[in-house]
Amino acid sequence: MNWYGCWTLYSRESRRFLNVKMQTIVAPALTAIMYLIVFRYAMGDREVPGLEVAYFDFLIPGLVMMAMMQNAFANTSSSIMVGKLMNMQIFLMMAPLTAFEVTLAFLAAAVTRALIVAVVLLLVLAPFTNISIEHLWMIMFYGITGSIIMGGMGMIGGMWSKTFDDMALLNNFIIMPLTFLSGVFYSVKQLPEAWQTANHFNPFFYLIDGFRHGFLNVGDTDPSQAIIVVSIATLSTVLACWYLWRAGWRLKD
């Protein structure tokens, strides 16, 4: 293992977002606050049907999780995309870094960014809400696996995209619908039967629900089922990243 090389790549990927804090940390916090203001006044003190939780409190963990996932995705995808446009990924290929080390470094940096965003958001939102940490392990487990999955999707998306248009396409037609339809803004119990079933095939649904469960102590999914689904999704994403990077998929002629 080239640990020092892996560490260097990790710190490079982390410095990349730390150097532009306004874009990468302050902006997502601002977006989340705006969502909350809007919903606070639109929904008032209404409760989520069947859950006995104020809609506003219900929303917060979902928004935090969504921000984590989007930031994890952005970190890896933009880095690989810029790397491609600048012909910079050759430095990673020339260095004695295995696909495993590259994957590890990229995903660790994505998780780091997601965690920083999550902490900042929670600190900013804390004064406006009554929620508290009920199950820390659930919050950590779903927060981290969700970031790994999205960081991994960002890596794959970055490799797949030839242009920024491709990337926008991926974002708008796959990532956004999956996150929006995964229960950030509603409980699945509010949905028609068919949609409820469909949601059980969306791994993001388990992630957001599990993460929220850690704060609210109520959820829509069976926790043991969720852990299995999420673990499998995480492992598959990591394996896919490792395999595709090793093959130089869409990177090497």
Partner 1 sequence: MSYALEVKKLTKIYKNGKQALQGVDLSVPEGSFFALLGPNGAGKSSLINILADTVHPSSGEVTLLGKNLFTERKWCKQRLGVVPQEIAFDPFFAPRDILKIMSGMFGVKPDMKWIDELLERLELTEHAKKNARQLSGGMRRRLLVAQALVHKPKIVILDEPTAGVDVELRKRLWGFMRELNDNGTTILLTTHYLEEAEELCDQVAIIDQGKLLTSQSMASLLDSVGSSSLVLEYHENMTMTDTIQNKLAAFSPRIEKNTVSLCLKKNDSGQNNFNDAYQTAIALLGEAKSVSVQNEDLEDVFLRLTHNGNTV
Which H helix or E strand runs over 116? Answer: helix 99-125
By beta-carbon proximity to partner 1, the closer residue of 16 and 200 is: 16
Interface residues with partner 1 (CB under 8 A) are 2-5, 7-9, 11-12, 15-16, 19, 82, 86-88, 90-98, 248, 252-253
Nearest to partner 1 of 9, 72 (CB atom): 9
- Min dist CB 55 to partner 1, Å, is 41
The CA-atom distances, in angstroms, between 20 and each of 15, 124, 179 are 9, 19, 25
Residue 119 CB, nearest approach to partner 1 (Å): 24
Asked if residues 31 and 67 have their Cβ atoms less than 8 Å apart, the reply is yes
Residue placing its CB nearer to partner 1 in the complex, 2 or 236: 2
- Partnered with residue 146 across adjacent β-strands are none
Dist CA 72 CA 84 (whole Å) = 19
Nearer to partner 1, 8 or 202 (CB): 8
Q: Which is nearer to partner 1, 54 or 97 (CB)?
A: 97
Element of type H or E holding 54: strand 53-54
Q: How far is the CB of 15 from partner 1 (least distance, A)?
A: 8
Smallest distance from the beta carbon of 84 to partner 1, in angstroms? 10
Provide the residue type at 31 as one letter: T
Q: In which element (H, E) is residue 132 found? A: none
> Is 82 or 115 the residue whose CB approaches partner 1 more closely?
82
CB atoms within 10 A of CB 100: 15
Contacts of the segment 34-38: beta carbons below 8 A, 24+ positions apart? 35/59, 35/63, 36/60, 36/63, 36/125, 36/128
| CB 79 to partner 1: min, Å | 9
Shortest separation between residue 107's beta carbon and partner 1, angstroms = 17
Structure tokens that stand for 124 in this block: 């900013």
Instruction: Check the CA dihedral 98-104-110-116 and report its sign.
Output: negative
Tokens of 125: 């939102």
Closer to partner 1 at the Cβ: 14 or 199? 14
CA distance 157 to 146: 16
Nearest-approach distance from CB 164 to partner 1, in angstroms: 15
**What CA–CA distances, in Å, run from 73 to 152, 156, 225?**
7, 10, 25
